[in-house]
Structure 1
Amino acid sequence: MINDTIAAISTAVGEGGIAVIRVSGPDAVTAASRVFRSKTNIAEAPSHTVHYGHIVDPETGEIVEEILLTLMRGPRSFTAEDVVELSTHGGVVAVKRVLELLLRQKEIRLAEPGEFTKRAFLNGRIDLTQAEAVIDLIRSKSDRAFSIAMKQAQGTLSRKVKDLRHRLVELLAHIEVNIDYPEHDVAEMTNAFIRDHCNQACAEIDGLLKTASEGKILREGIVTAIVGRPNVGKSSLLNALVQENKAIVTDIPGTTRDVIEEYVTLGGIPLRLLDTAGIRETADIVEQIGVERSRSAIEEADLVLFVLNASEPLQAEDLQLLEQVKGKQAVVIFNKTDLPIQIDRAEVERVFSADLIVDMSVLEEKGLDRLEKVIMDLFFGGQLESADLTYVSNVRHISLLRAARQSLVDAMEATELGIPIDIVQIDIRSAWEQLGEVIGDSVGESLIDQIFSQFCLGK
């Protein structure tokens, strides 16, 4: 129900300086005024003001908490409804007591995950791309990903899609007039005219899709498996990238028994690092499980960092891994180059280009810059696109843009085959509707529920 009043904790659970409880809906101010005591009557207070006071249990008169209340009246609020935010002391007990007191009132119920943002969308304050950008802002793993999400939250993608839809509507209107009044030949409505307009729209969609692979990587990160036989320096590499001792490092082979996962940003690129167990034949049951998980990680990874000990000749396990990694998006790391080199480089270059081999000494922290450059070359051709570019990073958006483009291509092909114009119109209308799904103008309720269910409670 969009006409009731909801409340939820909007800050992370745990200790902190403050915690925030958000209340939104037609009874937000009335309900808050019942438990809030201050020199100011908030029922009469102007919008966008902050008031000091106390939360008081109306049944007992007990002071429950000392707070600051922020009042934002609709439609000038995030949800476009009346919103009250209560800033309490940080801590589980304080915020829980205040929320429980609010939920005792019959007008207020606990919000569902993402319901505040969902109301902002349903009330027309933001469109669906902007709503989805909110969760991307929360989940951003790098500055670049955050900037992309911020641009989408500000409506950069929305404006481009809306402009495309507007021009397709104009094209559809010309077609309709031509169908209804063929004797007028409005705007010389010919097949060439349709092809020209559809071709322009396709070019703009291509411009958006050009950034799709990069945008998806920046949004979701590159799943990166660090693999190699035991004791070649995989965990040391993880620690060097993370700049923290996340993995146990010893001279004992087989120390890492399971896959250790960590996020790191390298050159603005988020990497989801998987430090795997050393791959070798072993009788240890636990280590065997770790080895199997390592092999699975190789198959699932977008990028493999294959670590070799440059101070030793290639071992049987190295050669087996070399074959397994062949064909994957991989970078080979010759670690321990601070020691005398004994590895057969030519044997490795038989499988991997020299451009994909990085000489490194994790112990001396040498070679990390070179590793960053090689990864940039692999995924971004050496550099990211301009920060001013509108990135498309959401899989749903990418799929719909591709579908819209195909509909326009179908329309152009239909005109070349001499198919009647009213049939051609169907493909153009499909493209218009598919673009509408991107911004939420034509989307089913079930999809809306699915999208907002991914949000955290209180957002």
Structure 2
Amino acid sequence: MDTIFALASAQGKAGVSVIRISGPQAFAAGRLLCGTLPRLRQAGLRLLRDGAGVRIDEALVLCFAEGASFTGEDVVELQVHGSVAVVRKILAELGGVDGLRLAEAGEFTRRAFENECLDLAQTEGLADLIDAETEAQRRQALRVLSGDLGKLVARWREDLVRAAALLEATIDFADEEVPVDVSPEVDALLAGVETSITRQVEGVAVSERIRSGFEVAIVGKPNVGKSTLLNALAGREAAITSEIAGTTRDVIEVRMDLRGLPVTLLDTAGLRETEDRIEALGVALARGRAETADLRLFLLAPGDTPELEVRPGDILAYSKADLHQVGDHRISAISGEGLDHLVDRVASVLTERSAEAGLATHLRHRQGMERSLSHLSTAKVWVRNGPDGYDIGAEELRIAIRALSSLLGRVDVEDLLDEIFSRFCVGK
């Protein structure tokens, strides 16, 4: 196997840059640069020199042995001064060593997966952790990276394997001392797994929202202050504001961190009947986006009623509090009155919904679990028919187990690997 190397930290000028070398020649390559290597897992200060013995830089060097590193291979990491010239020179020196080559995108992580240091769900968690922008995203990604989903799948598999073994023992050893009617125990095992998987499937939609961001649509009549509110919450002029009704024609999106949650605010066209064809298209688009949004924030003038049916969890607020000193939940995007309370209300609703998130975080996870549930349901039917249906029930359980194993990358995922690992940058 080739030994690979790459810059593992961000490109460009920095205080410190990290260069990683992984593979069977990692230690030999490290010695070419710095002479003697420090002890395993202990940092050592070393001078790095090129092939002619000319000094390149001074670096902290760390070494990890096969089986005790991120990739599962021998690894050397060089913490060098973050100069573009220093990094370029070291990479050039490594590139000149026979048997070494520059790593491809995600290749370090792929080797960790292939060496069973990470399962496939953990690699997705690692990618999500690298992409995390909010506290909620960080916490969710870290749970997946820690292997919690893998442990849960292992428990499901253990119960299903036990159930399949009971059925097969009855089939193969019917004349020996094996209970003939194992249906009650098998049915209990399948019911427990089915309930647990269903709970995780139901939580995937929320988990995906934590990854991609909750959509909060600001809806209301024209000129009620929706765009001004968007700008105030975003802290910048994201939308054009004017006293002319119907200024907003398209949906304007602003992504932000709202009390640790990823949120995309949608400023929509004012809801009203109009003869203007272009504005009418904007109103129709506003209604559509409001319908699919995770939460609607109805911005109203005193005495107004919502233009759309209010769903559970939707929030009503009354705008222009600096001009109208009447009613509860008053806000002013101009003076800032009530904005903190409004943000708290939105965050409270979304935080409550976030509590429904499960360990499964990707569409691929949900599809695998749904396949497993489908075969579990079929297996239960055959098991309840008695011993004559045990052989078909056992086969359905084997298919269900394979569907769960695919969540961790153990079977039937070759076509997914390139797509998943391509999400990583070179050096990871």
Alignment TM class, shorter chain as reference: 0.7 to 0.9
Residue 340 (1) aligns with residue 330 (2): no
1:440 equivalent among 399, 409, 415: 409
Q: CA deviation at 1:394?
A: 2.1
Q: In the alignment, which residue of structure 1 is the partner of 2:419?
A: 450
Asked whether the 8 Å contact 1:360–1:368 carries over to 2, the reply is: no
What is the correspondence of 1:354-393 to structure 2 with a 5 Å cutoff?
Answer: 359-363=330-334, 364-374=336-346, 376-377=348-349, 382=352, 384-385=354-355, 391-393=359-361
Q: CA deviation at 1:208?
A: 2.9
Question: What SS does the aligned partner of 1:49 have?
Answer: coil
1:245 equivalent among 232, 236, 252: 236
Residue 266 (1) aligns with residue 258 (2): yes
Q: Distance in 1 between matches of 2:425 and 2:247?
A: 37
Q: CA deviation at 1:81?
A: 0.5
Give the AA of the match of 1:245: R
Q: Distance in 2 between matches of 1:165 and 1:374?
A: 39
Q: CA deviation at 1:186?
A: 1.9
What is the correspondence of 1:314-353 to structure 2 with a 5 Å cutoff?
Answer: 322=307, 331-340=315-324
Q: CA deviation at 1:239?
A: 4.0
Q: In the alignment, which residue of structure 1 is the partner of 2:363?
A: 395
Q: Distance in 2 between matches of 1:457 and 1:203?
A: 41
> Could you report, residue by residue, the CA deviation over 1:219-247 in whole angstroms, capped at 9, with x for unpaired residues?
222133445566543344334434x3253
What is the correspondence of 1:147-166 to structure 2 with a 5 Å cutoff?
Answer: 147-166=139-158
**Which runs of 5 or more residues in structure 1 are unaligned?**
346-356
Question: What SS does the aligned partner of 2:47 have?
Answer: strand
Q: Distance in 2 between matches of 1:297 and 1:14?
A: 40
When residues 228 and 192 of structure 1 are mapped into structure 2, their CA distance, relative to the original with a 3 A threshold, is: same
When residues 41 and 279 of structure 1 are mapped into structure 2, their CA distance, relative to the original with a 3 A threshold, is: farther
When residues 238 and 33 of structure 1 are mapped into structure 2, their CA distance, relative to the original with a 3 A threshold, is: farther
Q: In the alignment, which residue of structure 1 is the partner of 2:48?
A: 55
When residues 67 and 210 of structure 1 are mapped into structure 2, their CA distance, relative to the original with a 3 A threshold, is: same
Asked whether the 8 Å contact 1:70–1:84 carries over to 2, the reply is: yes
Q: In the alignment, which residue of structure 2 is the partner of 1:122?
A: 114
Q: In the alignment, which residue of structure 1 is the partner of 2:395?
A: 426
Asked whether the 8 Å contact 2:51–2:93 carries over to 1, the reply is: no
Give the AA of the match of 1:76: A
Q: Distance in 2 between matches of 1:299 and 1:102?
A: 56
Q: In the alignment, which residue of structure 1 is the partner of 2:19?
A: 21
Question: What SS does the aligned partner of 1:109 have?
Answer: strand
Asked whether the 8 Å contact 1:17–1:90 carries over to 2, the reply is: yes
Question: What SS does the aligned partner of 1:420 have?
Answer: helix
Q: CA deviation at 1:429?
A: 0.9
When residues 282 and 28 of structure 1 are mapped into structure 2, their CA distance, relative to the original with a 3 A threshold, is: farther
Q: CA deviation at 1:282?
A: 11
Identity of aligned residues (%): 34
Q: In the alignment, which residue of structure 1 is the partner of 2:377?
A: 409
When residues 203 and 451 of structure 1 are mapped into structure 2, their CA distance, relative to the original with a 3 A threshold, is: same
Q: CA deviation at 1:156?
A: 1.4
Question: What SS does the aligned partner of 1:339 have?
Answer: coil
When residues 296 and 63 of structure 1 are mapped into structure 2, their CA distance, relative to the original with a 3 A threshold, is: farther
**Which runs of 5 or more residues in structure 2 are unaligned?**
none
Number of positions where the alignment pairs a residue of Structure 1 with one of Structure 2:
424
Give the AA of the match of 1:361: S
Asked whether the 8 Å contact 2:258–2:343 carries over to 1, the reply is: no
Question: What SS does the aligned partner of 1:182 have?
Answer: coil
Asked whether the 8 Å contact 1:143–1:268 carries over to 2, the reply is: yes
Q: Distance in 2 between matches of 1:12 and 1:154?
A: 24
When residues 86 and 374 of structure 1 are mapped into structure 2, their CA distance, relative to the original with a 3 A threshold, is: closer
Q: Distance in 2 between matches of 1:260 and 1:458?
A: 36
Q: In the alignment, which residue of structure 1 is the partner of 2:127?
A: 135
Asked whether the 8 Å contact 1:358–1:367 carries over to 2, the reply is: no
When residues 383 and 294 of structure 1 are mapped into structure 2, their CA distance, relative to the original with a 3 A threshold, is: closer
Give the AA of the match of 1:97: K
Q: In the alignment, which residue of structure 2 is the partner of 1:350?
A: none
Q: In the alignment, which residue of structure 1 is the partner of 2:30?
A: 32
Question: What SS does the aligned partner of 1:407 have?
Answer: helix
